[in-house]
A and B are shown apart, each in its own frame.
Chain A
Amino acid sequence: DIQMTQSPSSLSASVGDRVTITCRASQDISNYLNWYQQKPGKAPKLLIYDASYLEIGVPSRFSGSGSGTVLTFTISSLQPEDIATYYCQQYDNVPYTFGQGTKLEIK
């Protein structure tokens, strides 16, 4: 199975900050990676697919980049409503696997 190592596991930042989360894959996954946001008690929400494509309706402050084994997710200007846990998910191979998540808090 492809292991997805997500870092950091938690992050505290101020409103307006630029925030970056990294996912490292145990093998080359090209750009076969998605990013999700999950708020407490809710199902995840798809934000980015194919590493860098913004899902319809998702604010443009969210972005993704990278390919191969290191992929990143960025919030360009953190907003209070962005408080959530963020997950990466690879689909290069079954079983599709997820990172452990990054819990984002407001400083």
Chain B
Amino acid sequence: QMQLVQSGAEVKKTGSSVKISCKASGYTFTSRLLHWVRQAPGQAFEWMGWITPFNGNTNYAQKLQGRVTITRDRSINTAYMELSSLRSEDTAMYFCARSKGSGPVAFDIWGQGTMVTVSS
């Protein structure tokens, strides 16, 4: 079945970086945009950016520009999200999510989430 499987929980120090993976299976990896979304405790979801797995094009939320990098490895159907200069407010559950299609930007398949905890 179609699924996205993310890497495990991370505990990081303030100022460091974290890189999370998202492996796609059950569909053609290059056919749909792949997004990253996070949810801090008690907060709304925050869209972070997307990547076009076909050609690697990206689009990032302006708020995170310069700190977030989304990449992919087509050979293993995997996308990555790296967040640098971590702060306590980056503590959140991070999700990858697939775009439904070429029309609506609706997230129809989600990874299970990766908890990132940032502390000093």
Cβ of A50 and Cβ of B110 under 8 Å apart? no
User: Which residue of B has the minimal Cβ distance to A94?
Assistant: B59
Question: Which listed segment binds A: B12-20, B69-77, B80-88, B100-108?
Answer: B100-108
Q: How far is the CA of A97 from the CA of B59 in the complex (A)?
A: 15
B111 CB-CB contact with A under 8 Å = yes
The 8 Å CB contact of A55, one of B97, B108, B112, is: B108
Q: How far is the CA of A34 from the CA of B37 in the complex (A)?
A: 15
Cβ of B104 and Cβ of A91 under 8 Å apart? yes
A17 to chain B, nearest CB (A): 26
The 8 Å CB contact of A50, one of B63, B103, B111, B112, is: B103
Cβ of B100 and Cβ of A49 under 8 Å apart? yes
> What band does the interface of chain B fall in when counting residues whose beta carbon is under 8 Å from A?
20 to 34
Contacts of B47 in A (CB 8 A): 94-98
Q: How far is the CA of A96 from the CA of B62 in the complex (A)?
A: 11
Contacts of B104 in A (CB 8 A): 32, 34, 49-50, 91
A87 CB-CB contact with B under 8 Å = yes
Q: How far is the CA of A102 from the CA of B61 in the complex (A)?
A: 25
With A32-B104, A91-B104, A91-B105 as given contacts, are A98 and B61 in contact (CB-CB < 8 Å)? no
Contacts of B59 in A (CB 8 A): 94
Cβ of B44 and Cβ of A100 under 8 Å apart? yes
A25-84 contacts to B (CB < 8 Å): 32, 34, 36, 43-46, 49-50, 55
Cβ of B45 and Cβ of A43 under 8 Å apart? no
Cβ of A94 and Cβ of B107 under 8 Å apart? no
B113 CB-CB contact with A under 8 Å = yes
Q: Closest 5 interchain pairs by CB?
A: A91-B105, A43-B110, A49-B106, A98-B45, A96-B47
12 examples of A-B residue contacts, CB within 8 angstroms: A32-B104, A34-B105, A43-B110, A43-B111, A44-B107, A49-B104, A89-B106, A89-B107, A91-B105, A94-B47, A94-B61, A95-B63
Which residues of B approach A to under 8 Å, CB–CB? 44-47, 59, 61-63, 95, 97, 100, 103-108, 110-113
Given A45-B110, A49-B100, A50-B104: 12 more A-B contacts, CB < 8 Å: A44-B107, A49-B106, A50-B103, A50-B106, A89-B45, A94-B59, A95-B63, A96-B105, A97-B44, A98-B45, A99-B44, A100-B44
